[in-house]
Structure formats: structure tokens, C-alpha cells
Amino acid sequence: MGFFGLVFAALLAAFVWIGVSLPLSRSLEPLDSPAVVLLDAQGKPFARRGAYKEAPVVVSELPDYVPNAFIAVEDRRFRRHFGLDLWGMGRAAAVNIKAGKAREGASTITQQLAKNAFLSNERTLRRKAQEAVIALWLELRLSKDEILARYLSSIYFGDGVYGLGAASRHYFGRAPEKLTLGQAAILAGMVNAPSRLDPVDNPKAVAARADQVLADMVEVKFITPQQAQNARGARARATRASLPVGGYFADWVSPQLADAFETARYGEVRVPTTLDGRLQRRAEQAVNNALARSGTRLKAGQAALVAMRPDGKVVAMVGGRSYAKSQFNRAVQAKRQPGSAFKLFVYLAALRDGARPDMRVVGDPVTINGWTPRNYEGGAGSDLTLRDAFAQSNNIIAARIWQTAGGEAVVQAARDLGITSPLKATDASLSLGAAETTLLELTSAYAAVASGHMPVAPYGRPRKDGEAAPPSRQLDTAQRAALYELLGAVVEEGTGRAARTGQLTYGKTGTTQEHRDAVFVGFTGDLVVGVWVGNDDHSPMNGVTGGGLPAQIWRDFVGQGLRAGLIARDRAPVPRVQPPSEEEQLERELEQDLGGIPRWLRRIFGG
């Protein structure tokens, strides 16, 4: 057959393989995940996720200088070669042979299209050979303008932007057909190193590169020297519209939005969320102000905040003091101990067993399976009503309630209100919050009390008309009223006084051993808010309690929301504990005759 016959047969076989396995349409396909612009509840964009690619450009509709800018800097002989630039390949081969490895390429625009659409970025001789064969095939199948259009529509321009159409809108806010000569030079200059040649972050280097593009265009007679000079003088500085903050929420909500862009192809998909930008800004301000004011002195390095409506609609989320420095979302991803904020479930178990807020409980020390709890202030303390014990966050009485109601009942109460984190029913220290959960999970549990329905599932995608809420059941009316009384006492006269807002407010403080975690979770009006303060390395803070810095952040944020009219004033009717019936009153009198020990507590004493 001869040498040339073998070469021809090999090329023919390669072309057949390419035609079968590499469809031409691939070079025009949209990205797997289109860019998603998240909108807050007011319709304002606050975050962008994913790569951005617009529909393919049409070369004949562009000003001549736009494609010519790319040709001048990337492939001057584009209109004359057949996909391979033999002169350029020879020069690059000499450089590579001298270096002993592939250091320089001579890829034409057609070869770059072949690589971008069909091949990987590895720099090997085998990949270059594949690129060359595919380039020849493209030249046989497509016109020069078609190749150029596909190339311009697929190249990367940095910042997650692909294609000339997307780059024109992203960097200059205009369609590619409206680009000026200076703007075209900037974009053409970016292709070689889009990360380094960013028009916003490195304007001086970009300007120098654009000047070189204009000089190259003059050299190949695409434009005149005067046109180049005018473009330099008139060149607008590229600007990118910065999106408001909200990165932590965007990371959390994105998985919930997959069905919103399943049919999307090009451009940016604008997706509504539940985030209230007005509350979000106030939440970030409250967190950052508190840490800036007291963080160093109190050795408190981080904080998180979650705000939701009683039905679980998340309207604000702060996962840390700086998303730019750390994308770890402490509101969602951090598993931390809630401390006494967990007592909500302990007391609910007692209420289910017949207890009432005004019942008195013995405050003497107790030892359970070798564990002896102590109060925060030390000492044992006197007998207290459940209301006062909860307000003062009495640890000994919480442990006694756990022992009486039973660990299984406490765990069940937590599960009913929506806690899904692992809980050990046999561990009595669970009564003081010695189990890890997330701030989002804990806040959702308190939202169940606020709403009267359990559990509450937090959500960030607005529910569609007619879309049913997740299954839930009603919290017992009497038990809910009792919880309201307990939570209200915390704020009015207990450990949560720093969270007072001037209207009915309900909440609970939580502080862990050695002040490693401090939380305050509560609700007022139509908003439920949880705040956590601590350090990522679990190091102790300087005396920070849940009723201190977290309650102050909570009050600052909620106070701003109330003044701005973003949180409803006192909701009515407020659940109230009903007075005991005659039968219950008689039973209480009998209990007094038995030494003041309630029926549901007598089991612990054996009679």
C-alpha cells in the first residue's frame, strides 16, 4: 500500500471514529450545571452558584473587530490554514525538543476548540496528536465562521464565566454585539490567563495586555493605529456587579433548588428563596458588632445565627464572622453541645407525665449512676417550682426531672420536636445538654413550640401554591402553654434577661462546661432565632454564658427587626396555663399532706 496509503488509511479510520464517538453538537452544549442566581424574598440577587454560559454567538452579527481581536492574539493565520499551523508547530517543536518536554504549544483556534470540546487539559504528545486529528475533522465539517463561533462560545473567561456572550454581560453589562473595540481587546487578552488577567482584580495587567492585543490588531491590519489609540483612550474600566452577602445561606439552600433548573440550558437561572435580605443584613451586623466589641476580651472567636418563621421558613442565616475567610457553616454543619437549652425537652417530658409549672421540686443534691450534677453558681439550692428552676437553669432539679420522667421520655420529647442527632437515653448528663446538635436543628425545635406543630422542618425554597407542608402533629395545648410560661420566665426574671425586647419574649439560655459553647434560642412575634457563640477549636471562652453574649446578639438583632417592622408585634392569643380543676386541686392538697411531693415525683422516692 505504501507509506502515504497507510497514513491516509489511518486518517480515514480516525475520522470515522471521531464522527461516531464525538458529535459536533458537543461544542455547543450548555454546561452540566447552569449558573444559578439566588434571589431573596424581595427579589434581589444575593449569590451566584455554578458556571455561567450564554447561548452561542453568531459571528456575522458581531462587529468585525470582536472576532478579529481574538484572531490577532490567538491565531493570526486562522483564515488561511486548514486547522493546523505548520509554521507555528515547527517553532514550538524546536522549543520542546530543546527543553526535553512539552513546554510550548502552537494550538490554532480550531485546535483549541477541539481541546475545549472533546479532550482533557493534559499536556502530552498523545493528547496533542488527538487534538490535531480532531482539528482536521472540524475543518472538513465546518466553515471558518462556524468554528470561530463555537470557539468564542466555549472559551473560559475566569470567575466561572464561559463564552463571549456570558463574558460580555458579566464584565461589561452588555451583549457581545455592543462591545467596544477596547472592551473586545480586554476580553481577547484574558483568554491566555483568565485567572491572572482579571479586569476587576488586576486592572493594570489587563490594560497592558489589552494594549498588546490592539498592537497585534494593528500589525495584521485589522485596525488602524488611530483606531487603536482611540480605543485606548476610550476604554471603559471593566466592572463586575458585586452581589450582597448571604454565602452561608446560599450553600445551605442550593441542594433544595435542584428541580428549579433541571430544564435550564444557557444563561443564568434566577431562583427565589426565603431569605429576607433586610433581616440578613441585620443579623450579620449584630454578629459582627458583638464579636468586634467583645470577642477578643471574652476569647470568643466565632458566632452563628439562624432566624426562621414558626413554620420553618429560614429568613436569615449567619454561619460565622466571615464567609470569605471560612465557608464552614457553624449554623448548619457544626455539632456542638446546647447546654441548658436542651432542658426544653427534659421539662416537656415532665409536663407529659403530669407536672405543672407551679409544682415544687426538691433541690437537694442527687447522684445518678455515679454522676453528681452541680448548679452553675455552686451549692444545692432550695426546693423550687418547675417555673423557677427552669428560669434559673437549675441543674440539680433538671437531673431529678430526668431521673423521674426517664431518659427514654426525654429523648422521645426531643425527637417529637425535631431533634434527629444521636441521643443516649441512658446518659443522665443529657439532662444538662451533654449531647451534640446543630444550631439549625435546635432552633427548629423551638419553632415547634412557637407554632404549636411538631416537628418543624426548616426550608429555604418558597413552597409552591398548593404544596403541602411536611407531616406534623399538634403539640398538646396545655403542654405548649406550660412551655410558654417556662420560657417566658427565663427572659422576664431568669438567666435570659439580657434578651428582653419590650414585648412578650420566650427563650432559653445554654452554657457548656468551661464556657466552650454558649447559646440562646428564643422567639417573639413571628420570628424564632437561635444564636451560638464559641471557638472552632473548642477552646474555653472567658466566662461567656448563654445569657451573656448570645442573648445580647439575639436582642440586638431582634430589636433591629422590630424597629424596622420586619418582626410582628405581640402575637395573640398567647397560650396560657389554665388553673387546676377541682380534682387537680384536691390532689395537690393531698400532695401537701404527703410532704409536698407531687405524684409524678413520688416514684423516685419509692412511695
Q: Tens digit of pLDDT for each residue in 70-126? A: 999 998 888 888 767 666 666 655 655 665 554 445 688 888 888 777 665 665 556
Assess whether 146 and 73 both reside in one domain. yes
Q: What is the 3-state secondary structure (H, E, C) of 263-285?
A: CCCCCEEEEECCCCHHHHHHHHH
Interstrand relation of 161-162 and 360-361 (parallel, antiparallel or unpaired): unpaired
DSSP string, 65-129: HHHHHHHHHH-TTTTTSSS--HHHHHHHHHHHHHHTS-------HHHHHHHHHH------HHHHH
Pairwise CA distance, residues 110 & 114, whole Å: 6
Assess whether 212 and 347 both reside in one domain. no
Residue type, 254: S
Average pLDDT over residues 550-554: 98
Assess whether 475 and 572 both reside in one domain. yes
Pairwise CA distance, residues 607 & 420, whole Å: 35
Q: What is the pLDDT of residue 422?
A: 96
Indicate whether 268 belongs to any domain. no
Assess whether 370 and 230 both reside in one domain. no
Give me 29's grid cell: 452544549
pLDDT range class, residue 280, cuts 50, 70, 90: very high
Indicate whether 21 belongs to any domain. no
**Res 539 pLDDT > 60:** yes
Indicate whether 585 belongs to any domain. yes
Q: Are 355 and 600 a contacting pair, CB within 8 Å?
A: yes
Q: Between 305 and 78, name the one with better pLDDT.
A: 305
- The lowest-confidence range among 342-356, 453-467, 543-557 is 453-467
Assess whether 197 and 304 both reside in one domain. no
**Phi-psi sector, 354: left (phi>0), alpha (psi -120 to 50), beta:** left
Assess whether 363 and 443 both reside in one domain. yes
| Sequence-separated (6 or more) residues with CB below 8 Å from residue 325 | none
DSSP string, 450-515: HHTEE----B-SPPPTTPPPPP-EEPPHHHHHHHHHHHHHHHHHSTTGGG--SS-EEEEEEE-GGG
Q: Give the rounded percent of residues in the chain with a pLDDT score beyond 90.
A: 60
Pairwise CA distance, residues 336 & 332, whole Å: 10
For 577, the domain range is 297-463+470-601
Average pLDDT over residues 132-161: 86
The residue written with cell numbers 518536554 in the block is: 101
Pairwise CA distance, residues 298 & 541, whole Å: 6
Pairwise CA distance, residues 329 & 506, whole Å: 26
Q: Give the rounded percent of residues in the chain with a pLDDT score beyond 70.
A: 79
Domain count, the chain: 2
Q: What is the pLDDT of residue 605?
A: 42
196: enclosing H helix or E strand = none
Average pLDDT over residues 543-560: 98
Assess whether 198 and 331 both reside in one domain. no
Q: Are 249 and 273 a contacting pair, CB within 8 Å?
A: yes
The residue written with cell numbers 491516509 in the block is: 8
pLDDT range class, residue 10, cuts 50, 70, 90: low
Assess whether 532 and 431 both reside in one domain. yes
Indicate whether 537 belongs to any domain. yes
pLDDT range class, residue 158, cuts 50, 70, 90: confident
**Res 483 pLDDT > 50:** yes
* Domain CATH number, residue 522: 3.40.710.10
Average pLDDT over residues 132-157: 86
C-alpha distances out from residue 502 to 195, 451, 487, 555, Å = 52, 21, 15, 10
- Which residues are 35's β-sheet partners? 268
Average pLDDT over residues 502-516: 96
Burial 28-52 (b: 16+ CB within 10 A, else e): bebbeebbbbbbbbeeebbbbbbbb
- Which residues are 313's β-sheet partners? 459
Q: What is the pLDDT of residue 14?
A: 53
Which of 189, 218, 234 is at the close of a domain?
Answer: 234
Assess whether 116 and 197 both reside in one domain. yes
pLDDT range class, residue 358, cuts 50, 70, 90: very high
Residue 312's nearest CA partner among 521, 417, 459 is 459
Assess whether 172 and 313 both reside in one domain. no
Indicate whether 272 belongs to any domain. no
**Res 456 pLDDT > 90:** yes
pLDDT range class, residue 586, cuts 50, 70, 90: low
**Res 311 pLDDT > 90:** yes
Assess whether 352 and 433 both reside in one domain. yes
- Which residues are 336's β-sheet partners? 437
Which of 234, 254, 281 is at the close of a domain?
Answer: 234
Give me 94's grid cell: 524546536
Average pLDDT over residues 403-424: 97
Q: What is the pLDDT of residue 443?
A: 99
Beta strand ranges found along 109-243 (DSSP E)? 161-162
* Domain CATH number, residue 96: 1.10.3810.10
Give me 313's grid cell: 421558613
Q: What is the pLDDT of residue 67?
A: 96
Pairwise CA distance, residues 206 & 198, whole Å: 7
48: enclosing H helix or E strand = strand 45-49
Rounded to the nearest integer, the mean pLDDT of the chain is: 85
The number of CA neighbours under 13 Å toward the Cβ of 138 is 33
First-to-last C-alpha distance (Å) of the chain = 107
Indicate whether 257 belongs to any domain. no
Indicate whether 504 belongs to any domain. yes
Give me 584's grid cell: 387537680
Which of 208, 234, 260 is at the close of a domain?
Answer: 234
Indicate whether 59 belongs to any domain. yes
Q: Between 10 and 232, name the one with better pLDDT.
A: 232
pLDDT range class, residue 498, cuts 50, 70, 90: very high
Average pLDDT over residues 465-490: 92
Pairwise CA distance, residues 329 & 314, whole Å: 15
Q: What is the pLDDT of residue 97?
A: 62
Residues 175-202 have pLDDT tens digits of 999 999 999 999 999 998 998 888 878 8
Q: Between 246 and 354, name the one with better pLDDT.
A: 354
Assess whether 524 and 437 both reside in one domain. yes
Residues 205-245 have pLDDT tens digits of 999 999 999 999 999 999 999 999 999 866 666 666 656 54
Q: Which three-class secondary structure state does DSSP give residue 273?
A: coil
Residue 394's nearest CA partner among 363, 367, 371 is 363
Average pLDDT over residues 500-510: 96
Q: What is the pLDDT of residue 298?
A: 97
Interstrand relation of 268-272 and 35-39 (parallel, antiparallel or unpaired): parallel
Dihedral sign (CA 434, 439, 444, 447): positive
Q: C-alpha angle with apex 154: 133 to 188, nearest 5 degrees?
A: 100
